[in-house]
Chains A and B, each alone.
Chain A
């Protein structure tokens, strides 16, 4: 896309930003409901010099640890469940029971179990993202074209080889899109848990600024975490594309 086209594409956002600034500067909207955009931006830089990076780093660390663990365990569990029938028969009913549970119900549980610190949030994100990843990996591996498996067997692959050289790569596209959904979920859980109760982290910071009446700072925090969530997704999609180049 050319630069002009990109600019044209994102002009609506520019319009919204201008409207935001104009209405608040002209006093059409109370400053307590919506601080002017320029104030939010200057608050952002003030916070950046202060402790925004610390809190953000804290949040990202929690999210990343919990999510990566869920990813490794979830994909392995899902694929093995699909591959070994006895495992499937034993685990599937449990999964079907627990899968529809709204994951935010785990927040009070991990608070009670582990407290307010990093461990509690990591556990929350780990458990919360685990089942969706298991479920999508399971479905992906179950859906692998039988004929691909047969043709590998026909060429002399052992069962182990079929699993790792055929089933896993063949289900990779679906596994990766399942993980993407869980990535979004991990942000929801992280921010929610920090808003509800925490000692640090970006959610805590937003809550603190809001309680203290620093709405410009609160907006800056909200925009920061939204942007991080957005770029995490974009980055993931880019990695995924590179990884799945064979699909083009």
Chain B
């Protein structure tokens, strides 16, 4: 069914003739492209026509040229690679720690007792505040960056895995048990796949956190990467550089988040969310 705004559609489509219908369809098809193009055009023209100071908003063409230059010079691919490397290593680390703790915690009473207060305090607190401590302990290089990022992301993964594996339908587990599955088999063959959708949701929440934190660590500690180069541009008041950074980081973020969605769809072929079908009432 269409969303709440069907009222608009109703108002429009009631007794509407062919002309109006096609205008509407046209608007729906062209509208999205229109906005994006309009935004990019406004950006370019606003600074070309000196409606805003070019320092605050350099023309789009200048920014794109800058990106191209950095690309050719080899600095940009290097920065992207370094940032992605840190992000992904930290993400995998957080994933391994988070999922295993999330599975173990609810199943072993003593471990649950120990971790429960730590996690309920750790989850809502701004973990980035610990960055100076991580710098103190692990230095200024990749180790402290990766550990900081992994630490920031792992609480979310623990808590979603915990609740997902706890909320698997009892009937599912019972039916596997009555078919003769062992406890270990039930964990890996029933509980894990059944809670996979929620675990993936947890990972999808954790990934943006990783990206956010990795940039912050690079801005604070330096050591190359997109965050470092962007902050350096800001320090040198190099506004095309800052905007180039925004665009680059935006694209990297978009690609990473999109690929998470694609992986989710691939992994959850069996799940009804992948097989949404339009139905009539």
Report the bound CA distance from A141 to B3 in whole Å: 9
Q: Scoring A residues 24 to 62 as 1 if CB is less than 8 Å from chain B, else 0, what string do you get?
A: 000000001100000000000000000000000000000
Q: Scoring B residues 54 to 93 as 1 if CB is less than 8 Å from chain A, else 0, what string do you get?
A: 0010000000000000000000000000000000000000
CB–CB B242/A108 < 8 A: yes
Partner of B117, one of A9, A82, A98, A100: A9
Residues of chain A with a CB closer than 8 A to B226's CB: 105
CB–CB B212/A103 < 8 A: yes
If the complex has contacts A105-B230, A196-B220, are A191 and B249 also in contact, measured as CB distance less than 8 A?
no
Partner of B126, one of A91, A97, A226: A226
Report the bound CA distance from A111 to B197 in whole Å: 39
If the complex has contacts A10-B117, A105-B230, are A206 and B212 also in contact, measured as CB distance less than 8 A?
no
A68 is an interface residue with CB less than 8 A from chain B: no
CB–CB B124/A104 < 8 A: no
Chain B at the A interface: SS class:
helix
Segment among B98-106, B128-136, B160-168, B170-178 that sits at the interface with chain A? B128-136
B107 is an interface residue with CB less than 8 A from chain A: no
Report the bound CA distance from A51 to B230 in whole Å: 32
CB–CB A33/B212 < 8 A: no
Residues of chain A with a CB closer than 8 A to B137's CB: 33
Partner of B136, one of A9, A33, A84, A100: A33
Q: Scoring A residues 195 to 219 as 1 if CB is less than 8 Å from chain B, else 0, what string do you get?
A: 1100000010011001000010011
If the complex has contacts A195-B220, A222-B132, are A102 and B126 also in contact, measured as CB distance less than 8 A?
no
CB–CB B36/A94 < 8 A: yes
Q: Scoring B residues 115 to 133 as 1 if CB is less than 8 Å from chain A, else 0, what string do you get?
A: 1111001001111111111
CB proximity of B126 to chain A, nearest CB, Å:
4
CB–CB B216/A107 < 8 A: yes
CB proximity of A236 to chain B, nearest CB, Å:
9
If the complex has contacts A88-B5, A101-B253, A146-B4, are A108 and B219 also in contact, measured as CB distance less than 8 A?
yes
Q: Could you show 8 A-B contacts with beta carbons less than 8 Å apart?
A: A12-B117, A102-B215, A104-B215, A112-B237, A192-B128, A196-B216, A196-B231, A218-B133
Q: Which residues on B are within 8 Å of A, measured CB to CB?
A: 1-9, 27-28, 31-36, 39, 56, 113-118, 121, 124-133, 135-137, 208-209, 211-216, 219-220, 226-227, 230-231, 233-234, 237, 239, 242-243, 245-246, 249-250, 253-254, 256-258
